[in-house]
Chain A
Amino acid sequence: MISAIDLTHDAGQSGRAEPLHRRHDRAADQRLAELEAHAIFVIREVAAECERPVLLFSGGKDSVVMLHLARLAFEPGVIPFPVMHVDTGHNFPEVIEFRDALVAEFGVRLVVAGVQDAIDQGRVPDPGPTGSRNRLQTEPLLHEINRSSFDAAFGGARRDEDKARAKERVLSFRDAFGQWDPKNQRPELWRLYNARVRPGEHLRAFPLSDWTELDIWRYIAVNDVDLPAMYYSHRREVVERDGMLLATGPFTPPAAGELAFEETVRYRTVGDMTCTGAVRSPATDAWGVLAEIEQSRITERGATRADDRFSEAAMEDRKREGYF
């Protein structure tokens, strides 16, 4: 069982003797340059071959990096597709503010697919005011892809996140029902991406497939990429639940017997408030986070996403249904 992670105490005691990621690290920068060039290549291929791509954008770090890469891909022109946020309605308010500011700065159109709308229209069952809405994101996502006839959706998913993702292609085909067939994926040879789909079908495109969590943070640090402030150390009222620190709020009131307390924390991912946990951390910038992750011995999803901890195949099952 995983216990609450205390990075302030762990740092420096576990892991390798020599940190791999330093400010001046030519090898790491070379690797990042290669990953960046490949991501730009994929974004350009999909934009050129598909009629109506869309970029899935949550305000989370991976999607922010995606938006930056999209800008680089089309400079000095404009990003030729909109961005879509699947909004659970239980997002951290500061992430929504950040999302709106960034979209305005980049001059892209934002499409919001709301879980609340899906509940209101009876397309998905209501899990109640404090229930997790993470699994409910699939329906509004597919509904909007269908309604807007999007034929490709860019996502920031990485293969190092999960066993099922480790198997997924860079361009991942979805049938007319939005389903992934992991046993029958298109062969993907060299850098020759086959982006052809028939009406009703679509692709998920993952330009960050070969990036690791460390690569993302190094990219953010080196390029001074702005993120929502909750990614860095701050004081917040939390409760400890199932070994995770959850922020208290309207959707996550302390349960009977739970004690709310203030803690110095940061988030490693930003998702639904009901299932995204914080870690204790003093890291106030991306270099600080990078140094901490270097030392940490628990994966991003394992540490802070309750939804991935139920079964070994949890992610594969959700992906088959059309989840991102």
Chain B
Amino acid sequence: MELLRFATAGSVDDGKSTLIGRLLHDTKALFDDVIDAVAATTARRGGEGLDLALVTDGLRAEREQGITIDVAYRYFATPLRSFIIADTPGHVQYTRNMVTGASTSDVAVILVDARHGLREQSHRHAALSALLGIDHLVLAVNKMDLVDWSQARFHEITAEFAVLAAKLGVSMVMPIPLCALDGGNVVDPSPHTPWYQGPSLLEHLETLPVPERAHGHLRLPVQLVIKPVLGSGGGSGAGALAERRWYAGSLAGGTPAVGDEVVVLPSGTRSRIAAVEGHAPAVRIQLEDELDVSRGDLIASAHLRPTVEPHLVAQVAWMNDKPLRAGSHVLIKHATRTVKAVATVVHDKLDVTTLVADIDATELQLNEIGTVTFLTALPLPVDPYRVNRTMGSFIVIDEVTNATVGAGMVGAGSVSS
């Protein structure tokens, strides 16, 4: 796969916007008119040259306050790979936006200021990234120029982060000393770090292995049932098959093949695949038997089925002003199904700085994370989040306002263990 999605976390004070601006600038992803606009704004504010931080902050309020509020997506490509950056905010009150950006990322770049080292925010970013299943972190130690490119300082921060990563169960960590302001070790190597033999940030992003997302066992959450237009000739088979319904969806695992034995969940009815069309992962399939299958059902491998049960135990990141407590009624959207649910137990709450679980907690407030059990009105077919991100994740929706108020990861308890 040639597309890498990575999230950047850190505050504006750490130089995150400057780092992204630098990456885009030095890979020639910025167009002339954008550079002209940035130069003009820099000059208007009494600065000189290009304030690369201005490239990324898009909203009026962000420019006024000098902070990042919401995720911004940026695109650039090199001859080796194309990239999508989810530039996420660092402040605790915008945690939900950081989680939004991290949820679709393969890698997280965690930025720290070499003068300050790891701060509470760095701990939270690392913990949230690990919780969301990102097992490849880049520790970008920025503003190395302000500590005289000190190797000792770099190693001090790196050692501290290694302890944190081990606690989080993150296996891959790449620390890089850099300076976003002068570009050292961002795209090109810095002349100030003869003691550093590793790659620049871009070189690392260009060559690290992209996590494989295709899982072995067939999982097709049904999005739509498509009735062929008669006489359209859309089916691959002859006669009755051409008139049969198609089940359309995006593969959450496996590769469907004609003849494969499948089970429709939650009903448990079995059949075989009769036809497959489309470009994976967006496919449509027909089954050999006429079954009652509708949106929300899961077509899965008959041999390796997900767990189907009405109790969901999950790590939940809460994103609403109104706390989540035992007895809270909500909607849960899992794969393509939305069901009514009630929180039955709030087991614990995680302190993302110390990684200690508070087992006396009885509610989750805005931006808090904890283990919660929900009882769902219909049993949901789930896989552990660590095994399959799609089949192991869900969102919580407020029944009244329709707002997305939480994110859940099934069986993702390793962080607080």
Q: Is B370 interfacial (CB 8 A cutoff)?
A: no
Nearest Cβ on chain B to A115's Cβ, whole angstroms = 27
Q: Does A76 contact B (CB under 8 A)?
A: yes
Contact: B228 with A77, CB < 8 Å? yes
Chain A residues with CB under 8 Å of B103's CB are: 189-190
Chain A: CB-nearest residue to B403: A186
The docked-state distance in angstroms from the alpha carbon of A198 to that of B277 is 35
A235 at interface by CB-CB < 8 Å: no
What B residues does A44 contact at CB under 8 A?
223-224, 248-250
Q: Which residues of A contact B3 (CB under 8 A)?
A: 30-31, 34
Q: Which residues of B contact A73 (CB under 8 A)?
A: 248, 282
Interface string of A33-61 (1 = CB under 8 A from B): 11011001100110110000000000000
- Does A268 sit at the interface, judged by CB under 8 A? no
Most buried by A among B28, B397, B402: B402
Chain A interface size, as a band, is 35 or more
Within 8 A of B (CB), among A52-86: 72-78
Residue B279 interfacial (CB < 8 Å): yes
| The one of A76, A183, A194, A198 that contacts B59, using a Cβ cutoff of 8 Å | A183
Chain B residues in 8 Å Cβ range of A183: 59, 61, 69-70
- Total number of B residues with any Cβ neighbor in A under 8 Å: 72
Interface of chain A, main secondary structure: loop
Most chain B CB atoms below 10 A, which of A41, A77, A192: A192
Residue of A nearest to B37 (CB): A312
Q: Answer whether residue A144 sits at the interface, using C-beta atoms and an 8 A cutoff.
A: no
Asked if B234 is at the interface (CB within 8 A of a chain A CB), the reply is yes
Query: Judging by beta carbons under 8 Å apart, are B32 and A298 in contact?
Result: yes
Which residues of chain B are near A41, meaning CB under 8 Å?
223, 250, 281-282
**Nearest B residue (CB) for A211:** B75
Q: How far is the CA of A296 from the CA of B394 in the complex (A)?
A: 42
Q: Contact at A192–B100, with CB atoms within 8 Å?
A: no
Q: Assuming A297-B32, A303-B33, is B72 touching A167 (CB within 8 A)?
A: yes
Question: Which of A94-102, A156-164, A248-256 forms contacts with chain B?
Answer: A156-164
The answer to whether A182 and B33 have CB atoms under 8 Å apart is no
Interface flags for B207-234 (1: CB within 8 Å of A; 0: not) read 0000000000000000110111100111
Residues of B with C-beta under 8 A to A15? 28
Contacting residues of chain B (272-318) with chain A, CB-CB under 8 angstroms: 277-282, 284, 295
Identify which of A18, A44, A209 gathers the most chain B CB atoms within 10 Å of its CB.
A44
A298 vs B397: C-alpha distance when bound (angstroms): 42
The reply to whether A47 and B33 contact each other, CB–CB distance below 8 Å, is no
Q: Is the CB of B1 within 8 A of A194?
A: no
Segment among B76-84, B178-186, B353-361 that sits at the interface with chain A? B76-84
Q: Hey, which chain A residues are within 8 Å of B196, CB to CB?
A: none
Q: Is B389 an interface residue (CB 8 A)?
A: yes
Interface centre among A28, A48, A316 (most CB of B within 10 A): A48
User: Is there contact, CB below 8 Å, between A190 and B390?
Assistant: yes
- Residues of chain B at the chain A interface (Cβ within 8 Å): 1-3, 28, 31-34, 36-37, 41, 56-61, 63, 69-75, 77, 79, 81-82, 84, 96-97, 99-100, 103-104, 223-224, 226-229, 232-235, 246, 248-250, 277-282, 284, 295, 319, 333-334, 336, 389-390, 393-395, 397, 402-404, 407
Give A contacts to B, CB under 8 Å: 1-2, 15-16, 18, 20, 27-28, 30-31, 33-34, 36-37, 40-41, 44-45, 47-48, 72-78, 159-160, 162-164, 166-167, 182-183, 185-192, 194, 196-198, 209-210, 212, 296-299, 302-303, 312-313, 316
Task: List 22 interface pairs A-B (beta carbons < 8 Å), by A numbering.
Answer: A16-B79, A27-B2, A27-B81, A37-B281, A41-B223, A44-B249, A44-B250, A48-B224, A159-B75, A164-B59, A166-B74, A167-B70, A186-B404, A187-B99, A187-B100, A189-B393, A191-B104, A191-B390, A192-B334, A197-B402, A299-B34, A302-B31
Other than the known A183-B69, A192-B394, what 16 A-B pairs have Cβ atoms closer than 8 Å? A27-B81, A37-B280, A37-B281, A44-B248, A77-B229, A77-B246, A163-B72, A187-B404, A189-B103, A189-B393, A192-B395, A196-B402, A209-B73, A299-B34, A312-B37, A316-B59
